Amino acid sequence: MKVFRILKRNIRDAFKSVFRNFSLSIASITCSTITLILVAIAILVSANVNNATSELKKDLTIEVFLETDIDSSDVDTIRDKIIGLNNIKEENVTYISGEEWKNELQNESDDLEAILDTLETNPLRDSFEVTVEDVTQLASTTKQINEIEGVFEAKYGEGKAERFIAMFDIIEKVTIIIVGSLVLVTIFLISNTIKLTIFSRRNEIEIMRLVGTPNLVIRLPFLFEGFILGIIGSLIPALLTIYGYILVYDKMDGYIYSNIISLIKPVNLVFYVALSVMALGAVVGMFGSYRAARKYLKI
């Protein structure tokens, strides 16, 4: 009961001081709102990009073209050598003969059929299509395949996915730096708001200490104030996360572009992100007030 009473008074006092230091409170809340909106966007984008790149990565294959002057036993030897590399599993190596390829192309377009028919020999080489286990080793695995005897040329993708991944890596790093600095600014602003409260109540605090109030009880209302500032600052970002993402998802029919790369379904994801954003707001708020309490509450 006593705990409940103390809690009630703390919450009331905290709300009171949020309004007493209105302009600084608004500054803190605005800053944490902006920060948290960025955090939410960053999380949502990065979740989707990770999802998309893992889909893209599945399509990253090495195409291995063989020399034209080899027979089927050579093909088997080459296949065994490719499978022998440690980044490759047997079931991920598919043989496509030049003949098969030619047929496929001929079926696909009449023009191609006409061109291919005029040629006496098949210009298309026999090849393997290879998917690797670890995409980050793609380049070195390709190089190893290139060194196998009887291999004319091994090459992978057009580099689109790779470039996309690399670019997103940079964007991700820049975002982390921006969000990190904004978090620091928010902590600083909240801590300054709390500092004002501490100063405006310093007589009361002095008397509390004199008459034997435990330090924790003295600190509590300030921690609450930071908590409340952080939570208020996270409300708009949380709502924006939920409604904004659902809106975007509906507008885009669930796809980023073409229907190969899909967006992550909103339900669950948006709730997790909204909760994380609120938790982050609360933590940042309490961290700010902890800093102020450490610095300005000389207890």
Partner 1 sequence: MKFIEIKNCYKVYPNGVTAIADLNLSINKGDFVFVIGHSGSGKSSLIKMLYREEKPTKGEVIVGGVNISKLKNRNVYKLRRKLGIVFQDFKLLPKLTVYENVAFALEAMGLKNNEIKPKVIKALERVGLKEKIRSFPNQLSGGEQQRVCIARAIVNEPKLLICDEPTGNLDPETSKEIMKVIETINKEMETTIIMATHDREIVNRMKKRVVVIENGVLVGDHLKGSYKANESV
- Which residues form the interface with partner 1 (CB under 8 A)? 2, 6, 203-204, 206-217, 299
What is the closest distance, in whole angstroms, from the C-beta atom of residue 20 to partner 1 in the complex?
13
* Assigned token pair, 93: 């190596």
Say if CB 272 and CB 252 are below 8 A apart: no
Q: Is 42 exposed, middle or buried (0-12, 13-18, 19+ CB in 10 A)?
A: middle
User: No. of H helices and E strands in the chain?
Assistant: 11, 6
- Strand-pairing partners, residue 63, are 129, 155
What is the closest distance, in whole angstroms, from the C-beta atom of residue 287 to partner 1 in the complex?
20
CA distance 204 to 8: 18
CA distance 63 to 74: 17
Q: Which is nearer to partner 1, 114 or 207 (CB)?
A: 207
Q: Which is nearer to partner 1, 31 or 198 (CB)?
A: 198
Q: Which is nearer to partner 1, 20 or 81 (CB)?
A: 20
What is the closest distance, in whole angstroms, from the C-beta atom of residue 1 to partner 1 in the complex?
8
What is the closest distance, in whole angstroms, from the C-beta atom of residue 18 to partner 1 in the complex?
19
How far is residue 15 CA from its own chain's centroid? Answer: 35
Q: Which is nearer to partner 1, 6 or 246 (CB)?
A: 6
Query: What phi and psi, each to the nearest 5 degrees, are found at residue 158?
Result: -95, 0
What is the closest distance, in whole angstroms, from the C-beta atom of residue 25 to partner 1 in the complex?
21
Contacts of 62 (CB under 8 A, 6+ apart): 129, 130, 131, 132, 138, 141, 142, 145, 154, 155, 156
CA distance 203 to 221: 15
CA distance 209 to 93: 76
What is the closest distance, in whole angstroms, from the C-beta atom of residue 281 to partner 1 in the complex?
29
Strand 61-66 with 127-131, pairing: antiparallel
Q: Which is nearer to partner 1, 170 or 216 (CB)?
A: 216
CA distance 12 to 119: 88
- Residue located via tokens 């209105």: 22
What is the closest distance, in whole angstroms, from the C-beta atom of residue 215 to partner 1 in the complex?
5
Q: Which is nearer to partner 1, 34 or 208 (CB)?
A: 208
What is the closest distance, in whole angstroms, from the C-beta atom of residue 211 to partner 1 in the complex?
4
Q: Which is nearer to partner 1, 17 or 241 (CB)?
A: 17
Q: Which is nearer to partner 1, 10 or 142 (CB)?
A: 10
CA distance 239 to 285: 19
